[in-house]
């Protein structure tokens, strides 16, 4: 993937095909934008909607002749061809994800939140984060990066860089052995494509929900208060939940 947006302008013939049929056949002065993921957008003078586009095509080819440029983008049975009769310009500009600023990178660049990651718009360092995580103002005491706050059994604050203070280690430190399995053995916190409370004796394993522990299920496992409501650690359990010794379903 290129790390720049390419902008071309000219009087162009634009043709979009699908299933072998030409669905758009246009001519005019347009601006063509090719994004870092190879998405091709063709804009004319009217409105914000592209006159033609192809999202993340499998192939994008650039060719040139005496008249200017030709872009041929294809993805499966879709094809977008833009060919200039008169070229007005061709340039590359730096491109990065855009999102709410959340802090400063180790390179002194700006960190922005981009869905399930935080990215530096200067050095392009990227940190994967849980989508439910909140980025807080408190810097990590060890490396100075911003910290994350999530609810995994309780509220946990960890460094943005999982190699510095992993969320899994903090959750394990707090809850390893704190809960008992139905068989009576203490549950251990494990990280394997998410956090799990696993029993070393009977091999039961329960994915840790997003939320905080709030009481006990009648089955003996901990109950959680989650964004979607109360539930047992075992997502398939249908028994009543209790909080402070009271039946939460009463």
pLDDT above 50: residue 34: yes
**DSSP letter string over 168-185?**
HHHHHHHHTTTSB-TTSP
pLDDT-derived band at 245, boundaries 50, 70, 90 = very low
- Lowest mean pLDDT of 115-119, 165-169, 245-249, name the range: 245-249
User: Do residues 183 and 202 make contact, with C-beta atoms less than 8 angstroms apart?
Assistant: yes
pLDDT above 50: residue 79: yes
In the CATH hierarchy, which fold is given to the domain comprising 4-94? PH-domain like (2.30.29)
Q: 183-235 pLDDT, tens per residue?
A: 999 999 998 888 999 999 999 999 999 999 998 999 999 999 999 899 999 98
User: Do residues 63 and 69 make contact, with C-beta atoms less than 8 angstroms apart?
Assistant: yes
pLDDT above 80: residue 23: yes
pLDDT at res. 246: 42
- The more confidently predicted of residues 249 and 236 is 236
pLDDT at res. 249: 46
pLDDT-derived band at 241, boundaries 50, 70, 90 = low
Q: 132-184 pLDDT, tens per residue?
A: 999 998 899 999 999 999 999 999 999 999 899 889 999 999 999 999 999 99
Q: How far apart are CA 90 and CA 12, in angstroms?
A: 13
Beta strands 40-43 and 211-217, pairing class: unpaired
- Cα 107 versus chain centre, distance: 22
Structure tokens at 90: 């061709």
Q: Which residue has the tokens 């430190």?
A: 173
> What are the boundaries of each domain within the chain?
4-94, 101-165, 176-247
Lateral strand order in the sheet of 59-65: 52-54, 40-43, 21-34, 4-18, 78-94, 68-75, 59-65
């Amino acid at each position: 993937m290129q790390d720049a947006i390419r902008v071309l302008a000219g009087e162009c013939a634009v043709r979009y095909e699908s299933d072998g049929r030409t669905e758009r056949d246009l001519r005019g002065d347009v601006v063509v934008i090719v994004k870092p993921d190879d998405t091709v957008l063709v804009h004319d003078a009217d409105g914000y909607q592209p006159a033609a586009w192809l999202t993340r095509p499998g192939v994008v080819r650039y060719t040139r002749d005496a008249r200017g440029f030709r872009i041929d983008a294809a993805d499966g049975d879709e094809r977008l061809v833009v060919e200039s009769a008169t070229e007005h310009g061709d340039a590359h500009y730096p491109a990065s994800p855009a999102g709410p600023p959340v802090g400063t990178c180790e390179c002194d660049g700006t960190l922005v939140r981009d869905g399930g990651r935080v990215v530096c718009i200067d050095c392009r360092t990227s940190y994967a984060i849980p989508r439910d995580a909140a980025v807080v103002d408190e810097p990590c005491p060890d490396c100075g990066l911003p910290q994350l706050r999530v609810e995994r059994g309780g509220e946990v604050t960890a460094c943005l860089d999982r190699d510095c203070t992993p969320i899994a280690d903090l959750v394990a430190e707090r809850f390893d052995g704190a809960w008992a399995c139905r068989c009576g053995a203490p549950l251990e916190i494990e990280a394997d494509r998410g956090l799990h409370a696993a029993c070393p004796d009977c091999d039961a394993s329960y994915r840790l929900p997003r939320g905080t522990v709030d009481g006990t299920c009648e089955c003996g496992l901990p109950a959680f208060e989650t964004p979607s409501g109360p539930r047992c650690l075992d997502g398939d359990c249908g028994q009543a939940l209790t909080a402070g010794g009271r039946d939460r379903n009463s």
